[in-house]
């Protein structure tokens, strides 16, 4: 992945976190991400730093959602697996 693409993905994740917080009214704690001291506008940082930031921020967003919300997907054993995969 090119550095420019990483910067775009990094910015997208920051927007996802802000959108989620605005919609739900919940704060997503991103202490690990904040400790990296990197943001999408830090274009001088290397690709490895942005990759680590992306993975850390994504992990904290998903962790918050898993901890605070039950999944909306339900499993129905009586339905054939092909039908569930299509839906």
The residue to which tokens 């910067």 are assigned = 7
Tens digit of each residue's pLDDT, the chain (87 residues): 899 999 999 999 999 999 999 999 999 999 999 999 999 999 999 999 999 999 999 999 999 999 998 766 666 666 665 544 444
Q: Which domains does the chain have, with CATH numbers?
A: 3-70 (1.20.1270.110)
pLDDT tens-digit series, residues 22-39: 999 999 999 999 999 999
> In the prediction, which pLDDT does 75 show?
62
Q: Which positions ≥6 away from 43 have C-beta within 8 Å?
A: 7
CB 43 within 8 A of CB 26: no
Q: What is the pTM of this model?
A: 0.77
Cα separation of the two ends of the chain: 31
The crossing angle, in degrees rounded to 10, of helices 47-68 and 3-24 is 20
């Amino acid at each position: 992945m090119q550095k420019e693409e990483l910067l775009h993905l990094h910015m997208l994740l920051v927007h996802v976190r802000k959108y989620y917080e605005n919609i739900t009214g919940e704060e997503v704690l991103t202490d690990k991400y904040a400790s990296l001291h990197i943001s999408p506008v830090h274009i001088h940082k290397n690709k490895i730093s942005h990759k680590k930031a992306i993975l850390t921020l994504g992990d904290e967003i998903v962790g918050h959602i898993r901890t605070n919300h039950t999944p909306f997907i339900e499993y129905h054993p009586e339905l054939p697996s092909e039908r569930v995969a299509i839906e």
